[in-house]
Chain A
Amino acid sequence: MSELTNDNIEIIQDFIQESRDALEQLEQSIIELGRSEGDPQAINVIFRLFHSMKGTASFLGLRHIANVTHAAESLLDQIRSGQIKLEIPGHVDLFIQASDFAKEALVYVENHLNDSGMEDGAKTLTARLHGAISGRSAAKPQVPVLELSAAPVKPSQAPVAAPPVMEAPKAPAPPPAKKETEFFITPEMVERFIQESDELLQKLEHNLLEWIKSPDSKEVVSESFRNIHSFKGNCGFFGYADMERLSHQMENLLDIARSGASMDVSHAADTMLQLKDTLRNAIADASQGGSGAIIGLEALVSLLEEEAKAAAPPGGEEREVNRIGEILVAEGVVSAEDVVKALDVQSKPLGEILVDLGVANHDAVERALNKQSQKEEGAKPKTAAIKRQDIRVDLEKLDTLITLIGELVIAENMLVNNPDLSGLELENFNKAAQQTSKIVRELQELAMVIRMVPVSGLFRRMIRLVHDLAVKCNKKVELRLAGEETEVDKTIIEIITDPLVHMIRNAADHGVETPEERKNAGKPETGTVNLSASHEEGEVWITIEDDGKGLDRDRIIAKARQVGALEGDGSDLSDKAVFGFIFLPGFSTADKISDVSGRGVGMDVVKQNLDKINCKIEVSSTKGQGTRFVLRIPLTLAIIDGMLIRVGRSKYILPIISIRESFSPNPGVITISTDGQELARVREEFIPVVRLHELHRLSPDSKELSDGILIVLDTADGNIALFVDEILGQQQTVIKGLSKYIMDVGKVRGVSGCTILGNGDVCLILDVRGLVEATARHG
């Protein structure tokens, strides 16, 4: 890969992207590994992730990444096979370092398209990993640990480190099946095939892991089926008969699973995961111009057939012996040693074996290989459609598109509600307008979801954070995640990342006590931090909750007095008001400043960041039981269903989601409380009346409540009845933020943004929560 073509750069970029995704999962699994003290499932996952990263890295000539991942993989393999006992935290730390190294290296690769600058880091880390490997008891034979050479390595020639017994690494097979129909397949097509197959296999791997987690999920099985099916189709199209055959068999097994037959899911999935690796290797071979042949194909196929048989409706017996080598050993046909030797031979390409045996010379084999790959250019026709599931798009383009859709909504409104049309008989126009409105509405909906991404990525990053913190502070903390699938706008994810890190840090460092303290308080030694996301009241709520010592009201009050934020003893303040002090700049009640947090520059920054997206923070805490923060993030960028209302000459939009009901009050329902607050009686409830004309200093048509309309607005913080002159009707509303200038020079209360009406006028959108809060303060 010395010369970088655009295609190669693209492959590298894909590799970076994929590896980043993989690293996220990797971190999680490594921590899981440490926590579960060597869960074989976690080991397998980590192994696979390192393994696939190594494969691609060495293919791309990124040898430092390849070396490190390879060494990590080797160590894992030894742990997996029981030759090395997992050391916690020693080995776990090493894996984390390897993962960190990979992360760092990816940044380097992104900038330089090679990883030459990572040499030092790679050397140290590889040495440490090797040290961990050779440090084991010397009783068992040492598996050679190889350094990948500087020259680009052909994966087909690089021995795969200690392959699992069943995994039969690729090797150019004896003459591939002859193709009768030869038609032209360009190298580009093959390249695309390789990339696509790789993606499909990765997806399959993901599916299979999911399947193990939730064996009853039909969806996962169907998805695996679809992925392996497309894979099979592609292989068939390009004439890779062995891969086709194997994937076909896997597809069969999945089909059986799909039909509802009971089977040992984790076993079946595990087998298929191994076969997936086999396929991956074959693909790697094919990418180097090899035939993609699979040695021991028949054994693998029969293995799957067995698995399929075992899955017959009554439910299969647990089968212990499943590997051909193991079967042979069990039956006493061969010794275990022979099997290992045989596998060693098996893992070599046929050509090399022939050379080793002295029956052919090197050049002849090379020529044969070339010939072989040329012959491969044939394939039998097959109608498998090659589909790409997603594409990566520049965020800027997406933003422009969304802005344009917003403009379109406004333009459409202006057109349909054009004052020039009023009073005209427009049957055909209305029909066309309706059709247009429908399409525009669909476009809007699309625009809203197009930038949405699940919070899972953000949440998973916190696992690592909590793990590191717990180690640093000598605490036991478990992070539980919920609602990871909740989607929010991408920019929001970016903005809340830092605040969330701060808050999780606080929860783990200040909130959760040391194990001794917890024991003394009668709590389990391991503290819990819950991080969850959900949709509530048209907002996204992110909740951070710990079961630690809670906020200390008295101490906060004392500190508030000290910094001059509070006069008096504060005993009359609500908890909410007291906890509000923690958002003041420089406010910290921590006894000692740790290197993790406690400098008092946390929460005010959190608040500043969150204010940017109009996000509200709610704090609740019980001393000794824990603290709970709720981030209430409005769905910005959104197009909301609004209700257009009027007071005097001014028009406003109210979000329909907040409107409970509206009515024209007769004087009997209005009571005036002792402090002068008007209350409207709605059934058994007394709701404070807010006169919008007073709040915004407008001249209404009438100040008599009975002349206008009361709109009951509902929020979690309470209800108000908003007094307005008139309700004008419902309207799709594109939310536009208020100009920064307006925010800077004024103190806008009760307004969350603005929009442009059908006639082109600017109209303010009322912030219902703000209105309620304003009333609560004054009322």
Chain B
Amino acid sequence: MNRDNSLDSDLGDFDTWDDEDSQKNRYLTFRVGAEGYGLEIRHVTEIIGIQQITEVPDMPNFVMGMINLRGTVIPIIDVRLRFGLEPREYDGRTCIIVTILNETIVGLIVDEVSEVADIPEDSVEPPPRVSRGANSRFIQGLGKMGNEVKIILDVRKLLYDEDPDKAGQGEQENG
């Protein structure tokens, strides 16, 4: 029933890229705030529009709750809040990227999905050693695409890594 607001069509033959080789060096790029980000395509299962989210109590503030994905209940996190940015109204461009890490399925709310891009291995730089921002811990690498730079995110760290500065604030209000 979520198919209606699925954005699969915008991404052409997205569904057909399921073979290992063709996934290599492919990234789903998206935007949160002013920055462009990328996720390895092998972690992405689908992209759906924003929908009714049921809140779950006693969660870190970036965990928005759970949604019903065709009969499966999956948790949803807001990448904006994960980065410690200000919350923003969801609009028609807001998307949920459904990711899979091992067997855990989690939906990521992002401001806008851009495209699936090839970034060859030699165009990906390791993350900067020294960084002021706390968010640098999510970075897996920096991908150069022409003039642009996409920040490639490490899904595991995005989901699980505890914020060293904010440790202990996990239970703060989320409603």
Binding site for B on A (CB under 8 A): 406-407, 410, 650, 695-699, 736, 738-742, 744-751, 754, 756, 760-764
Q: How far is the CA of A709 from the CA of B40 in the complex (A)?
A: 50
Q: Beyond A698-B175, A756-B73, A762-B67, is A745–B160 a contact (Cβ under 8 Å)?
A: yes
B1 (CB) vs chain A CBs: closest residue: A760
CB distance from A227 to the nearest CB of B (A): 44
B62 (CB) vs chain A CBs: closest residue: A745
Contact A407 B71 (CB under 8 A): yes
Contact A748 B57 (CB under 8 A): yes
Contact A741 B106 (CB under 8 A): yes
Q: How far is the CA of A744 from the CA of B105 in the complex (A)?
A: 13
Beyond known contacts A741-B106, A742-B59, A760-B1: 17 more, CB 8 A cutoff: A410-B71, A697-B173, A697-B174, A738-B56, A739-B66, A739-B73, A739-B106, A742-B75, A745-B159, A746-B58, A746-B60, A751-B56, A754-B66, A754-B73, A762-B54, A762-B65, A762-B68
The one of B57, B67, B106 that contacts A751, using a Cβ cutoff of 8 Å = B57
Q: Is B55 an interface residue (CB 8 A)?
A: yes
CB distance from B55 to the nearest CB of A (A): 7
A696 contacts across to B, CB distance below 8 A: 57
CB distance from B67 to the nearest CB of A (A): 6
User: Which residues of B104-146 are within 8 A (CB) of A?
Assistant: 104-106
A411 (CB) vs chain B CBs: closest residue: B71
Task: Name the residue in A410, A744, A746 with the highest tally of chain B Cβ atoms < 10 Å from its Cβ.
Answer: A746
The one of A739, A740, A756 that contacts B68, using a Cβ cutoff of 8 Å = A756
Q: Is B52 an interface residue (CB 8 A)?
A: yes
Contact B56 A764 (CB under 8 A): yes
Q: Is B63 an interface residue (CB 8 A)?
A: yes
Contact A739 B105 (CB under 8 A): yes
User: Which residues of B9-67 are within 8 A (CB) of A?
Assistant: 52, 54-60, 63, 65-67
CB distance from A383 to the nearest CB of B (A): 48
Q: How far is the CA of A739 from the CA of B175 in the complex (A)?
A: 20
B68 contacts across to A, CB distance below 8 A: 756, 760-762
Contact A746 B59 (CB under 8 A): yes
Q: How far is the CA of A234 from the CA of B90 in the complex (A)?
A: 72
Those 10 A-B pairs whose CB atoms lie nearest each other, nearest first:
A696-B57, A762-B54, A746-B59, A739-B75, A762-B66, A741-B75, A407-B71, A747-B58, A756-B68, A762-B68
Contact A746 B54 (CB under 8 A): no
Binding site for A on B (CB under 8 A): 1, 52, 54-60, 63, 65-68, 71, 73-75, 104-106, 159-160, 170-171, 173-175
A749 contacts across to B, CB distance below 8 A: 57-58
B67 (CB) vs chain A CBs: closest residue: A762
Q: How far is the CA of A666 from the CA of B170 in the complex (A)?
A: 38
A744 contacts across to B, CB distance below 8 A: 160
A742 contacts across to B, CB distance below 8 A: 56, 59, 63, 66, 75
Q: How far is the CA of A509 from the CA of B57 in the complex (A)?
A: 43
CB distance from B165 to the nearest CB of A (A): 17
Q: How far is the CA of A761 from the CA of B1 in the complex (A)?
A: 12
CB distance from A733 to the nearest CB of B (A): 13
Give 21 CB contacts A-B under 8 Å: A406-B71, A410-B71, A695-B57, A697-B57, A697-B175, A698-B175, A736-B73, A738-B56, A739-B104, A739-B106, A741-B106, A742-B56, A742-B66, A745-B59, A746-B56, A746-B58, A746-B170, A747-B58, A756-B71, A760-B68, A761-B52
Q: How far is the CA of A697 from the CA of B59 in the complex (A)?
A: 11
Q: How far is the CA of A756 from the CA of B68 in the complex (A)?
A: 7
Contact B60 A761 (CB under 8 A): no
B58 contacts across to A, CB distance below 8 A: 746-749
Q: How far is the CA of A296 from the CA of B78 in the complex (A)?
A: 84
A738 contacts across to B, CB distance below 8 A: 56, 66, 73
A698 (CB) vs chain B CBs: closest residue: B175
Q: How far is the CA of A742 from the CA of B75 in the complex (A)?
A: 7
Task: Name the residue in B65, B66, B104 with the highest tally of chain A Cβ atoms < 10 Å from its Cβ.
Answer: B66
B171 (CB) vs chain A CBs: closest residue: A747
A695 contacts across to B, CB distance below 8 A: 57
Contact B74 A764 (CB under 8 A): no
B174 (CB) vs chain A CBs: closest residue: A697
B175 contacts across to A, CB distance below 8 A: 697-699
Q: How far is the CA of A754 from the CA of B69 in the complex (A)?
A: 13
A754 contacts across to B, CB distance below 8 A: 54, 66, 73
The one of B1, B54, B104, B106 that contacts A764, using a Cβ cutoff of 8 Å = B54
A410 contacts across to B, CB distance below 8 A: 71
Q: How far is the CA of A728 from the CA of B74 in the complex (A)?
A: 25
Q: How far is the CA of A650 from the CA of B54 in the complex (A)?
A: 8
B170 contacts across to A, CB distance below 8 A: 745-747
B75 contacts across to A, CB distance below 8 A: 739, 741-742
Q: How far is the CA of A756 from the CA of B59 in the complex (A)?
A: 20
Q: How far is the CA of A698 from the CA of B65 in the complex (A)?
A: 14
The one of B60, B65, B66, B173 that contacts A745, using a Cβ cutoff of 8 Å = B60
Q: Beyond A745-B160, A747-B171, A756-B73, is A740–B104 a contact (Cβ under 8 Å)?
A: yes
The one of B55, B106, B159, B171 that contacts A650, using a Cβ cutoff of 8 Å = B55
Contact B63 A745 (CB under 8 A): yes
Q: How far is the CA of A695 from the CA of B58 in the complex (A)?
A: 9
CB distance from B136 to the nearest CB of A (A): 20
Contact A748 B56 (CB under 8 A): yes
B57 contacts across to A, CB distance below 8 A: 695-697, 748-751
Q: Beyond A754-B54, A762-B68, is A741–B73 a contact (Cβ under 8 Å)?
A: no
A757 (CB) vs chain B CBs: closest residue: B68
A739 contacts across to B, CB distance below 8 A: 66, 73-75, 104-106
Q: How far is the CA of A119 from the CA of B104 in the complex (A)?
A: 47
CB distance from A745 to the nearest CB of B (A): 6
CB distance from B49 to the nearest CB of A (A): 14
A408 (CB) vs chain B CBs: closest residue: B71
A748 (CB) vs chain B CBs: closest residue: B58
Q: How far is the CA of A740 from the CA of B60 in the complex (A)?
A: 15
Task: Name the residue in A738, A751, A754, A760 with the highest tally of chain B Cβ atoms < 10 Å from its Cβ.
Answer: A760
CB distance from A535 to the nearest CB of B (A): 28
Q: How far is the CA of A697 from the CA of B56 in the complex (A)?
A: 10
CB distance from B103 to the nearest CB of A (A): 8
B53 (CB) vs chain A CBs: closest residue: A762
CB distance from B59 to the nearest CB of A (A): 4
Q: How far is the CA of A754 from the CA of B65 in the complex (A)?
A: 11
B74 contacts across to A, CB distance below 8 A: 739
Q: How far is the CA of A740 from the CA of B74 in the complex (A)?
A: 10
A648 (CB) vs chain B CBs: closest residue: B175
CB distance from B39 to the nearest CB of A (A): 17
Task: Name the residue in B58, B67, B104, B175 with the highest tally of chain A Cβ atoms < 10 Å from its Cβ.
Answer: B58
A764 contacts across to B, CB distance below 8 A: 54, 56
A736 contacts across to B, CB distance below 8 A: 73
B171 contacts across to A, CB distance below 8 A: 746-747
B70 (CB) vs chain A CBs: closest residue: A407
Task: Name the residue in B54, B105, B159 with the highest tally of chain A Cβ atoms < 10 Å from its Cβ.
Answer: B54
Q: How far is the CA of A748 from the CA of B63 in the complex (A)?
A: 12
B71 contacts across to A, CB distance below 8 A: 406-407, 410, 756
Q: How far is the CA of A748 from the CA of B55 in the complex (A)?
A: 11
Q: How far is the CA of A748 from the CA of B60 in the complex (A)?
A: 11
B101 (CB) vs chain A CBs: closest residue: A741
Q: How far is the CA of A764 from the CA of B73 in the complex (A)?
A: 11
B160 contacts across to A, CB distance below 8 A: 744-745
Q: How far is the CA of A741 from the CA of B58 in the complex (A)?
A: 13
A742 (CB) vs chain B CBs: closest residue: B75
Q: How far is the CA of A696 from the CA of B74 in the complex (A)?
A: 20
The one of B54, B59, B105, B173 that contacts A763, using a Cβ cutoff of 8 Å = B54
CB distance from A421 to the nearest CB of B (A): 16
CB distance from B168 to the nearest CB of A (A): 12
CB distance from A415 to the nearest CB of B (A): 12
A737 (CB) vs chain B CBs: closest residue: B73
B104 contacts across to A, CB distance below 8 A: 739-741
B2 (CB) vs chain A CBs: closest residue: A760
B159 contacts across to A, CB distance below 8 A: 741, 745
A745 contacts across to B, CB distance below 8 A: 59-60, 63, 159-160, 170
